[in-house]
Amino acid sequence: MEGLAGRTALVTGAGQGIGRAIARRLAAEGALVLCNDLDPARADAAAAEVGGVSVPFDCADPDAVRRAVAEHQPIDLLVANHAFMTMAPFLEVDPGEWRRMLETNLLGTAWLVSACGPAMAERGYGRIVCIASEWGVTGWPNATAYTATKGGIISLVRSAAHALGPRGVAVNAIAPGVTDTPQLDVDALDAGVSHDEMAAIYARDIPLGRIGRPDDIAAVAVFLCSTAAAALVGQVLMPNGGYVT
């Protein structure tokens, strides 16, 4: 991918799943990857694997976000991938879980965009990719709080794109379909089945015949970080195997 060699990329939630796959791909394209995770051990492991820098912090803490971003400037590429999810029927969601998902998923993404965007705009170049969810478009009955935060991320991206696009910063979102990551265990627990059974259940309704893989999403994220995607601004790409079109 053009335009990635020598760039510095901050990937949040890089300790596992989609974030880890994105970190690998960006590093393979020559970017220096700042590997964030809430768990310092996972951040360290990701950084060691990709030859990057471990940057553990809580994305829900705006002060921690500002400190980390300021310490590691210039940041050319931001992939906001971190997330927290629990599942329960709409009327049974614990208020504390509502708050944690809002603060982590939606506000955490807002803090990151607000911290990285202005410096990118001053330099006249930047790429911001926010990982939303297919469910942020369609909704999902037992994940109301989670889907609300992911829908909010889509609106955030579209607004930020208007603000930052004229100054050379492309802001876009990816709304993946169900993907085989540790987060799928939350779905499996809610349904009372195993991880593999949950994957098979979801796959029944996907035209591709399988759920997503982290590398599927990583490929789209790396494309959006490249100069090849220069005309994509404020877009929501949906790699989901055809489940939602």
Kindly report the backbone phi and psi dihedral angles of residue 31, in degrees, each rounded to the nearest multiple of 5, phi listed first: -80, 150
Sign of CA dihedral 48, 49, 55, 60: negative
Kindly report the backbone phi and psi dihedral angles of residue 156, in degrees, each rounded to the nearest multiple of 5, phi listed first: -60, -45
The angle that helices 108-123 and 144-164 make with each other, rounded to 10 degrees, is 10
How far apart CA 87 and CA 71 sit, in angstroms, is 36
Q: Which of 125, 146, 202, 243 is catalytic?
A: 146
Task: Respond yes or no: is residue 146 known to be catalytic.
Answer: yes
How far apart CA 90 and CA 75 sit, in angstroms, is 38
How far apart CA 58 and CA 63 sit, in angstroms, is 9
Question: Kind and range of the H or E element at 18?
Answer: helix 17-28
Residue 33: CA count within 13 A, CB half-sphere: 34
Active site residues: 146
